[in-house]
């Protein structure tokens, strides 16, 4: 029974921890492998060198990307409900403002100018665009721009994170409750079977003793 409780608790922690932390929508947001794909350049609204991998002065890890000019760095992905998104952020070096673009299913995009917050890493600022998401809708793409001018712009650790919607949490909890009842039911059945087995064994032993006693022919106790 103790083993079953431990197993159930472990399953619960694993399920809830997964629900709490959710998932990462963007692929290769930290450029850890030294490649840009699946990000691509958007030169529709600006010009520049285009985004390139660099290992110089990155915010974290060994690689980040750099551009001189206001070329967009864009990624598209399977649609995600904005109500499930908990964080949209990125780190930039080379300016104190950043322009980002959200693309939505059904057409339309929203562009915002963000102000950064300095970090402990010299020259790098963090930009949070979470509050700029639409209250409802399906996000299918994200873009961050380099700053116009001759100063290089570096980007690193771009992130869009999600958590499951409440229905997913309820389903997971319902599953755990069902598993708990099933395990209790099995334990109860084993208990009944054990009691029945012990009772049967005692009955057989008592019957055997009776038979042995009735057939016993002990000699009388005579002293010499």
Query: What would the pLDDT profile of 57-75 be if each residue is shown by its tens digit?
Result: 999 999 999 999 999 999 9
Question: Is position 121 within any domain?
Answer: yes
pLDDT confidence band for 44 (50 / 70 / 90): confident
CB burial of residue 89 (10 Å; 0-12, 13-18, 19+): middle
Q: Which residue has the higher pLDDT, 174 or 192?
A: 174
Packing angle of the helix pair 166-214, 2-21 (nearest 10 deg): 170
Residues 127 and 207 both lie in one domain: no
Question: Is position 221 within any domain?
Answer: no
Domain of residue 117: give its range: 23-162
Question: Is position 141 within any domain?
Answer: yes
**Residue 139: both structure tokens together:** 């996000």
171 neighbors 89 (Cβ within 8 angstroms):
no
For the chain, the domain total comes to 2
Whether 218 has a pLDDT exceeding 50, the answer reads: no
Residues 9 and 27 both lie in one domain: no
User: Which residue is listed with tokens 């780190």?
Assistant: 91
Predicted local distance difference test score (pLDDT) of residue 224: 43
pLDDT confidence band for 200 (50 / 70 / 90): low
Residues 28 and 120 both lie in one domain: yes
Predicted local distance difference test score (pLDDT) of residue 163: 87
Whether 215 has a pLDDT exceeding 60, the answer reads: no
Question: Is position 154 within any domain?
Answer: yes
DSSP string, 159-205: EEEE---HHHHHHHHHHHHHHHHHHHHHHHHHHHHHHHHHHHHHHHH
SS3 for 72-93 is EEEEEEEEEEHHHEEEEEEEEE
Residues 139 and 205 both lie in one domain: no
Average pLDDT over residues 28-50: 94
Residues 144 and 113 both lie in one domain: yes
Non-local CB neighbours of 116 within 8 Å, separated by 6+ positions: 92, 95, 96, 97, 98, 125, 126, 127
Residues 174 and 145 both lie in one domain: no
Question: Is position 219 within any domain?
Answer: no
Whether 123 has a pLDDT exceeding 60, the answer reads: yes
Predicted local distance difference test score (pLDDT) of residue 95: 87
For residue 48, the tally of other CB atoms under 10 A from its CB is 21
Three-class DSSP category at 12? helix
Question: Is position 116 within any domain?
Answer: yes
Residues 132 and 142 both lie in one domain: yes
For residue 141, the tally of other CB atoms under 10 A from its CB is 16
Residues 208 and 136 both lie in one domain: no
Distance of CA 82 to the CA centre of its chain: 17
Predicted local distance difference test score (pLDDT) of residue 21: 46
What's the pTM? 0.66
90 neighbors 158 (Cβ within 8 angstroms):
yes
Average pLDDT over residues 92-120: 95
Residues 93 and 191 both lie in one domain: no
Residues 39 and 77 both lie in one domain: yes
Whether 217 has a pLDDT exceeding 60, the answer reads: no
Distance CA 71, CA 50 (A): 6
Share of the chain above pLDDT 70, in %: 63
CATH number at residue 132: 2.60.120.260
Residues 115 and 192 both lie in one domain: no
Residues 38 and 76 both lie in one domain: yes
């Amino acid at each position: 029974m103790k083993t079953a409780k431990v197993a159930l608790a472990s399953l619960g922690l694993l399920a809830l921890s997964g629900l709490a932390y959710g998932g990462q929508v963007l692929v290769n947001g930290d450029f850890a492998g030294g490649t840009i794909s699946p990000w691509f350049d958007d030169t529709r609204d600006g010009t520049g060198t285009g985004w390139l991998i660099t290992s110089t002065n990155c915010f974290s890890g060994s690689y980040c990307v750099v551009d001189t000019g206001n070329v967009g760095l864009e990624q598209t992905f399977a649609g995600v409900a904005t109500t499930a998104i908990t964080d949209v952020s990125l780190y930039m070096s080379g300016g104190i403002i950043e322009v980002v673009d959200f693309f939505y299913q059904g057409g339309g995009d929203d562009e915002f100018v963000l102000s950064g917050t300095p970090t402990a890493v010299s020259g790098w600022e963090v930009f949070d665009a979470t509050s700029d998401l639409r209250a409802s809708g399906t996000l299918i793409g994200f873009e961050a721009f380099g700053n116009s001018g001759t100063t290089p712009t570096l980007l690193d650790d771009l992130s869009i994170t999600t958590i499951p919607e409440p229905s997913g949490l309820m389903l997971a909890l319902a599953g755990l409750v069902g598993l708990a009842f099933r395990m209790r039911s099995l334990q109860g059945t084993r208990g009944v079977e054990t009691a029945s087995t012990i009772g049967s064994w005692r009955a057989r032993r008592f019957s055997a003793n009776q038979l042995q006693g009735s057939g016993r022919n002990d000699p009388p106790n005579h002293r010499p």
